[in-house]
Structure 1
């Protein structure tokens, strides 16, 4: 019998789909990830040099890009991901 999550159950990990330079990459992050950890994950999967400046944006439920540059912005993206029970968090880098 499948297990169902209650409305306040925590998601064990978040599937992150990253689009950068016409490539799409998938990774998984902890729901308690810090903005610094997410930036490092993006550096790793996009092969950015340590000193490269980049911008992360996630796509909300209305299709609008929303910048992730602070912990508060990342927390809001994760909160909406969990509330909407989205299948993934989509991030675009540039």
Structure 2
């Protein structure tokens, strides 16, 4: 299986959201010192309970999930040294 990932700056998430990621059930995340890897949820293949959890995610995280899904990627790689993606919100922290 071949998967695609999206690399972007951690500035596309609020500091509070980055801090909450490790405690969330979805999406699946792996934190490291400079950022985080976040799985992209396939909304066409999740159950009602998972959809409810998705709908309760912080808006900044849902924006990234939607953007990544439109690009057909399965993983978001957020890194503090990565480039800003034009057209997406940026948060100072």
Q: Same fold (TM over 0.5)?
A: no
Higher fraction of strand: 1
Give the TM-score of the pair, scaled to structure 2.
0.29
Give the TM-score of the pair, scaled to structure 1.
0.29
